[in-house]
Amino acid sequence: MTDLIRLTAAELAAKIHSGEVSSVEATQAHLDRIAAVDPAVHAFLYVDAERALQAAKAVDEEVAAGRAPVSPLAGVPVAVKDVLATQGSPTTCGSKLLEGWIPPYDATVTRKLLEAGTVILGKTNMDEFAMGSSTENSAYGPTRNPWDLDRIPGGSGGGSAAALAAFEAPLAIGTDTGGSIRQPGAMTGTVGVKPTYGTVSRYGLVAYASSFDQAGPCARTVLDAALLHEVIAGHDPMDATSVDTPVAPVVAAAREGARGDLSGVRVGVVRELVGEGHQPGVLASFEAAVRQLRDLGAEVVEVSCPSFDLALAAYYLIAPSEASSNLARFDAMRYGLRVGDDGAHSAEEVMSLTREAGFGPEVKRRIIVGTYALSAGYYDAYYGSAQKVRTLVSRDFDAAFGQADVLVSPTSPVTAFRIGEKVDDPVAMYQVDLCTIPSNMAGNAAISVPSGLSDGLPVGLQIFSPALQDHRGYKVAAAYEAARDAAQGGSLIHRVPELEVSH
């Protein structure tokens, strides 16, 4: 029997839809895997086996009745980052403040997953309110990287990425505000996609920084990511920032790219994202990847985006500013944690005590920074200046896309670091997002695809596409992925060490 958990989502879907394997079997195999390895990995905050099996059974009944699957991914299990509202299941955002909160509604992404017949296994761990680059800021303890359990899986979506690398789920949903899908993808040897801002609804995505937040697919292959992308994307009247355009043809692009021909494609290497601060192994992997793209027929040019040097600093003003306002609602009045409600404290005191007890240090740091940046007398110098940088970053992208169809860089300047290594140095932690942040600033699309290993740890190649041209990145990523596997003698992800299974 095939090891169901090691199949790609596309392969698994084909088996389920043909009746060769039932969705219940596939779901159970993943639930068993979670039970076996998650005590060590801690990718999940919540698993609902009963509900997952129920959903799987419904798909099996459809297949048995001879009806066409409701989507190409019907019956395939998926893990959802715990920042998306799931009606009837806890949604904590990795925070004590929301411990026990059960949303009375589904996020649009959740609804689309359910309507597509995918099987939601549970909710994955994350840095508290998506603020972090290592998943160490989760109030429920860190997630460990399946490539080395002493190391972080990246963040904030470390849970979703680790679940894929540990074969606990073939697909996962992440959210990317400054790199929280792509950077964990790079650090776990998986594929992570930040779609164009506005193409996947944010309704029900608990906001960290509204103008950056974007949900996207996480998978082990480019095609799987594309299949999930087409399930969750699309216009949503519930999200005013949602764009009303057809979903980019990403599945077709992934299939086209897999044929391995990139002739006529111009690839721009972003000078500012390849240099100081990068580990040598990361740079070596990136250079090898660029050579591979050239071998596939792509024309490689160098482009310059000088304002990217300012992007990190600007991001860490705008995102906390929005966060300081977005997180104001966690006040103990209507839901979540409530501290000090003993009749002796006023409502304002209860708010204050709850926020003091419920938020972790990084969340407090960003709320304070953001509050400061928006204050009278500082607004222009901080928030205002940062918005100007944002405009400059967008202009740099526009100019660069005038010279190239897609842009490339390493996804992260470093590979997965040891747990605890950077917790006392927030600036060093922020710098891990150096290469991913510009895309969030501009709102365009970017993919991270594994580009090999450095000292046994995965490295990611990042491919940027212009806004609404997400398919360009998929095509290049799929072509690269196929060439990489051919050159390295098989899929990278299967080189992940065997995890010790607990019984």
Partner 1 sequence: MTAVAELVDFDEVVATYDPVLGLEVHVELSTNTKMFCGCPTTFGGEPNTQVCPVCLGLPGALPAVNGTAVESAIRIGLALNCEIAEWCRFARKNYFYPDMPKNFQTSQYDEPIAFNGWLDVTLDDGEVVRVEIERAHMEEDTGKSLHVGGATGRIHGASHSLLDFNRAGVPLVEIVTRTIEGTGARAPEVARAYVRTLRELLKALDVSDVRMDQGSLRCDANVSLMPKGATEFGTRTETKNVNSLRSVERAVRHEMSRQAGVLATGGSIRQETRHFEEVSGTTRPGRAKETSEDYRYFPEPDLVPIAPSREWVEELRGTLPEPPEERRKRVQADWGLSDLELRDLDNAGAIDLVAATVAAGAPSGEARSWWVSYLSQAANSRGVELGDLPISPAQVASVIGLVAAGTLTNKLARSVVDGVLEGEGDPEQVIESRGLKVVSDDSALLVAVDEALAGQPDVAAKIRDGKVAAAGAIVGAVMKATKGQADAKRVRELILERVNA
Min dist. Cβ of residue 358 to partner 1 (A):
13
- Could you say which of 15, 81, 96, 112 is catalytic? 81
Helix spans in 296-444 (H):
308-326, 347-358, 361-373, 385-403, 426-431, 437-442
The C-alpha angle 300, 215, 273, rounded to 5 degrees, equals 30
Whichever of 85 and 163 has its CB closer to partner 1, that residue is 85
For 252-285, what is the HEC assignment? HHHHHHCCCCCCCCEEEEEHHHCCCCCCHHHHHH
Active site residue 422: no
Active site residue 180: yes
Identify whether the C-beta of residue 55 lies closer than 8 Å to the C-beta of residue 106.
Answer: no
Listed in sequence order, the residues at least 6 apart from 10 whose beta carbon sits closer than 8 Å to its beta carbon are 72, 221, 223, 224, 227
* CA–CA dist 292, 297 (Å, integer): 9
For tokens 């060590």, name the residue: 40
Min dist. Cβ of residue 330 to partner 1 (A):
8
Listed in sequence order, the residues at least 6 apart from 381 whose beta carbon sits closer than 8 Å to its beta carbon are none
Active site residue 81: yes
Min dist. Cβ of residue 322 to partner 1 (A):
6
In which element (H, E) is residue 477 found? helix 470-488
Q: What are phi and psi of 122, to 5 degrees?
A: 170, -165
Min dist. Cβ of residue 63 to partner 1 (A):
33
User: How far from 392 is each of 210, 241, 306, 336, CA to CA, in Å?
Assistant: 20, 21, 9, 40
In which element (H, E) is residue 30 found? helix 23-41
Q: What are phi and psi of 460, to 5 degrees?
A: -115, 145
Whichever of 46 and 335 has its CB closer to partner 1, that residue is 335
Q: What are phi and psi of 376, to 5 degrees?
A: -55, 135
Min dist. Cβ of residue 376 to partner 1 (A):
5
Q: Is 253 exposed, middle or buried (0-12, 13-18, 19+ CB in 10 A)?
A: buried
- Could you say which of 23, 71, 134, 156 is catalytic? 156
Whichever of 280 and 343 has its CB closer to partner 1, that residue is 343
* CA–CA dist 202, 200 (Å, integer): 6
Whichever of 88 and 237 has its CB closer to partner 1, that residue is 237
Whats the size of the chain, residue-wise? 503
Whichever of 375 and 403 has its CB closer to partner 1, that residue is 375
Identify whether the C-beta of residue 257 lies closer than 8 Å to the C-beta of residue 393.
Answer: no
Min dist. Cβ of residue 315 to partner 1 (A):
14
* CA–CA dist 454, 283 (Å, integer): 10
User: How far from 82 is each of 122, 363, 498, CA to CA, in Å?
Assistant: 8, 16, 26
Whichever of 331 and 405 has its CB closer to partner 1, that residue is 331
Min dist. Cβ of residue 174 to partner 1 (A):
15
Whichever of 203 and 316 has its CB closer to partner 1, that residue is 203
Min dist. Cβ of residue 233 to partner 1 (A):
17
- Could you say which of 71, 134, 138, 180 is catalytic? 180
Token pair for 313 = 């600093």
Min dist. Cβ of residue 69 to partner 1 (A):
29
The 8-class DSSP code of residue 377 comes to T
The 8-class DSSP code of residue 434 comes to T
User: How far from 60 is each of 5, 12, 76, 79, 433, CA to CA, in Å?
Assistant: 18, 13, 11, 19, 42
Q: Which residues bind partner 1 (CB under 8 A)?
A: 84-85, 91, 93, 98, 101, 103-105, 107, 202-207, 209-211, 237-241, 321-322, 324-325, 328-331, 333-335, 343, 347-348, 351, 371, 374-376, 379, 383
Whichever of 165 and 327 has its CB closer to partner 1, that residue is 327
Min dist. Cβ of residue 250 to partner 1 (A):
24
Whichever of 322 and 405 has its CB closer to partner 1, that residue is 322
* CA–CA dist 86, 47 (Å, integer): 12
Whichever of 301 and 313 has its CB closer to partner 1, that residue is 313
Catalytic residues: 81, 156, 180
